[in-house]
C-alpha cells in the first residue's frame, strides 16, 4: 500500500534507513531533507523550522519551492522569496555586481556596497537599505524600486525613511528657495545645520529641521512639515511650550492675555 508520503512526493528518495513515518511530525529529524523539495523538506518539518512564518497552500506545493521558477505563493519575505527564485522577477532591471548572486539578497546582511544606492536591485533585496534606515517601514521590498527615484512617494515620506531619500523635500516645503538658487536638498535632514541661511527660514523647515533642532533640541513637533508655521506671526499650540520658545515668541500675547 502506498503511503501518503510516497503519494505526495513520488520522486522522493529517502535517506538511507529513512522512513516516511517521520515526515510531518513537527521535527526536522534529518539534515538530508533541509534542501530537498522533492521530499517536501521532510514533509514540511525542515522547511517550517527554517521559515516558520511562511504560509503555503499545501505541503505538496513545496515541490515547487526554489525550483528555479518564481511561484507567487512563495514570493514573500516570510518564504525568502521562493528561496531566491523571485529576485530576478521582483527586480528585472537589476544588474548584479561582477560575481554577484541573488542568494545573498535578503539574508539580513549588506554584503556588497555596490548595492548601497541601487534601487533597481532593491538595495540587495533590502539588506543595504535597512542597514541604513532600520526604522523605515515599507509595504514590500518591490516598492524599493521607487525609492529616491526623483518622485516623492508618500510611503517613504517619513523621517525614518529620510523623506524618500530627499525626493520629498520640495513637496514638503514647496515655497522653499534654496540658498544660492541651488536645486539640491541633499543636506536637509542629515542632523547637521550646515548653512546659517536656513537658521530663520521656516519655509525651508530650517534645513529640514537640522537648524531648528540645533536651537531647540527638546522641542517636540508632530512632523517637520509643521515647521513652516513656526514663528509665522500666529500662535500655534503645537509650539506653545518653553522647549519651543513659545512658537518663536508668537504666543506671548496669547499667554499674557490669559494672565
**pLDDT tens digits for 35-57?**
788 888 888 899 999 999 999 98
pTM, two decimals, is 0.73
Mean pLDDT on 214-237: 94
> 164 vs 5, which has greater pLDDT?
164
pLDDT confidence bin for 257, thresholds 50/70/90: low
Mean pLDDT on 126-149: 93
Written as nine digits, the cell of 237 is 499650540
Nearest Cα to 40, choosing from 27, 54, 14, 59? 59
Quick check: 127 pLDDT over 70? Answer: yes
Mean pLDDT on 83-105: 89
CATH topology assigned to domain 168-259: Ricin (A Subunit), domain 2 (4.10.470)
d(CA 213, CA 244) in angstroms, rounded, equals 10
N residues, the chain: 259
Mean pLDDT on 195-206: 92
Task: Give the model confidence (pLDDT) of 161-192 as tens digits.
Answer: 999 988 999 999 999 999 886 667 888 988 99
Integer CA distances (angstroms), 239 to 221, 225, 226, 235, 250, in order: 7, 13, 10, 8, 9
Quick check: 255 pLDDT over 70? Answer: no
Written as nine digits, the cell of 159 is 523621517
Residues 6+ apart with CB under 8 A from 251: 235, 236, 239, 240
In contact, 66 and 87? CB cutoff 8 Å:
no
d(CA 73, CA 80) in angstroms, rounded, equals 11
Quick check: 11 pLDDT over 90? Answer: no
Integer CA distances (angstroms), 27 to 30, 38, 70, 74, in order: 9, 18, 27, 22
In contact, 28 and 52? CB cutoff 8 Å:
no
Mean pLDDT on 215-237: 93
pLDDT confidence bin for 4, thresholds 50/70/90: low
Residue-level pLDDT at 138: 93
pLDDT confidence bin for 247, thresholds 50/70/90: very high
Nearest Cα to 138, choosing from 107, 111, 165? 165
Residue-level pLDDT at 183: 67
In contact, 124 and 132? CB cutoff 8 Å:
no
Written as nine digits, the cell of 175 is 515655497
Residues of each domain in the chain carrying CATH 4.10.470 = 168-259
Angle at 135 between CA 131 and CA 141, to 5 degrees: 70
Angle at 89 between CA 87 and CA 93, to 5 degrees: 90
Mean pLDDT on 61-82: 92
- Give the lowest-confidence range in 3-17, 19-33, 152-166, 183-197: 3-17
Quick check: 2 pLDDT over 50? Answer: no
Residue-level pLDDT at 259: 46
Quick check: 1 pLDDT over 50? Answer: no
pLDDT confidence bin for 131, thresholds 50/70/90: very high
Quick check: 135 pLDDT over 70? Answer: yes
Amino acid at each position: 500500500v502506498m503511503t501518503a508520503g510516497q503519494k505526495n512526493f513520488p520522486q522522493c528518495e529517502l535517506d538511507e534507513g529513512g522512513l516516511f513515518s517521520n515526515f510531518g511530525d513537527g521535527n526536522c529529524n534529518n539534515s538530508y531533507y533541509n534542501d530537498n523539495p522533492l521530499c517536501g523538506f521532510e514533509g514540511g518539518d525542515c522547511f517550517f523550522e527554517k521559515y516558520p512564518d511562511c504560509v503555503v497552500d499545501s505541503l505538496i506545493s513545496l515541490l515547487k519551492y526554489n525550483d528555479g521558477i518564481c511561484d507567487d505563493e512563495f514570493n514573500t519575505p516570510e518564504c525568502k522569496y521562493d528561496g531566491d527564485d523571485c529576485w530576478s522577477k521582483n527586480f528585472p532591471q537589476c544588474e548584479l555586481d561582477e560575481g554577484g548572486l541573488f542568494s545573498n539578497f535578503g539574508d539580513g546582511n549588506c554584503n556588497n556596497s555596490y548595492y548601497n544606492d541601487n534601487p533597481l536591485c532593491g538595495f540587495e533585496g533590502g539588506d543595504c537599505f535597512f542597514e541604513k534606515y532600520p526604522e523605515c517601514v515599507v509595504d514590500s521590498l518591490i516598492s524599493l524600486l521607487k525609492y529616491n527615484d526623483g518622485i516623492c512617494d508618500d510611503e517613504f515620506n517619513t523621517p525614518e525613511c529620510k523623506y524618500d531619500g530627499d525626493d520629498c523635500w520640495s513637496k514638503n516645503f514647496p515655497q522653499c528657495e534654496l540658498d544660492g538658487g541651488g536645486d539640491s536638498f541633499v543636506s536637509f535632514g542629515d542632523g547637521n545645520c550646515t548653512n546659517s541661511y536656513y537658521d530663520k527660514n521656516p519655509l525651508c523647515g530650517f534645513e529640514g529641521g537640522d537648524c531648528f533642532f540645533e536651537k531647540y533640541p527638546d522641542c517636540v513637533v508632530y512632523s517637520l512639515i509643521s515647521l513652516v508655521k513656526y514663528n509665522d506671526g500666529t500662535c500655534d499650540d503645537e509650539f506653545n511650550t518653553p522647549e519651543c520658545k513659545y512658537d518663536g515668541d508668537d504666543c506671548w500675547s496669547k499667554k499674557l492675555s490669559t494672565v
